[in-house]
Every structure is written in C-alpha cells, then in structure tokens.
C-alpha cells in the first residue's frame, strides 16, 4: 500500500506544506496572543496612569502580523499556478 502511495504522493511537497502550515499557524496565533496581552497591558496602564508605549507597540505589531498573514493568504488563494 505504501508503494502505491509513493507513486501518487510527492512526499517532499507534502512535508513542505506541513512545515509551512505549522509555522504559519503558530506564528499567527502567537501574534494574536501578543496583541491581546498588549490590549490588557494598555488597559491596566491607563487605569494606573503608567506609560502605554510598550503595550501600544504590542497591539500594533500583533495586529500588523495578523493582517499581513490575512493578505498573504488572500494572495495565495487568488494566484493559482
């Protein structure tokens, strides 16, 4: 059965897709988490009157990474080769 699959499946391409999906999934989830932590830190800093520069940077950076992933996904779906 494995011999038949070896003729049909390009294992190197499948492995590459799996690695890209893992990196993309972990990266987007991490960026979204950083954005949420930044939002929480910003709310806490506003309540206490502390500076919010770092929290704002976390929010903007996380949001930009998520938006970039969204744009790359749309481009990948519309440009079929």
Taking the C-alpha atoms of residue 17 and residue 26, their distance in angstroms, rounded to an integer, is 14
Q: What is the pLDDT of residue 6?
A: 66
Q: How far apart are the first and last CA of the chain?
A: 30
Q: What is the pLDDT of residue 8?
A: 78
| Radius of gyration in angstroms for the set of CA atoms belonging to the chain, rounded to a whole number | 20
pLDDT digits (tens, 9 = 90+) for 34-67: 999 999 999 999 999 999 999 999 999 999 999 9
What is the model's pTM?
0.76
Report domain extents, the chain. Answer: 11-78
Q: What is the pLDDT of residue 43?
A: 95
Confidence of residue 2 (pLDDT cuts 50, 70, 90): low
């Amino acid at each position: 059965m494995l011999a038949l699959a070896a003729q049909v499946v390009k294992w190197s391409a499948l492995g590459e897709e799996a690695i890209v999906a893992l990196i993309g999934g972990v990266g987007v989830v991490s960026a979204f988490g950083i954005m949420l932590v930044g939002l929480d830190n910003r709310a806490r800093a506003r309540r206490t009157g502390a500076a919010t520069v770092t929290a704002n940077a976390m929010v903007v950076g996380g949001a930009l990474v998520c938006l970039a992933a969204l744009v790359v996904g749309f481009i990948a779906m519309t440009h079929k080769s």
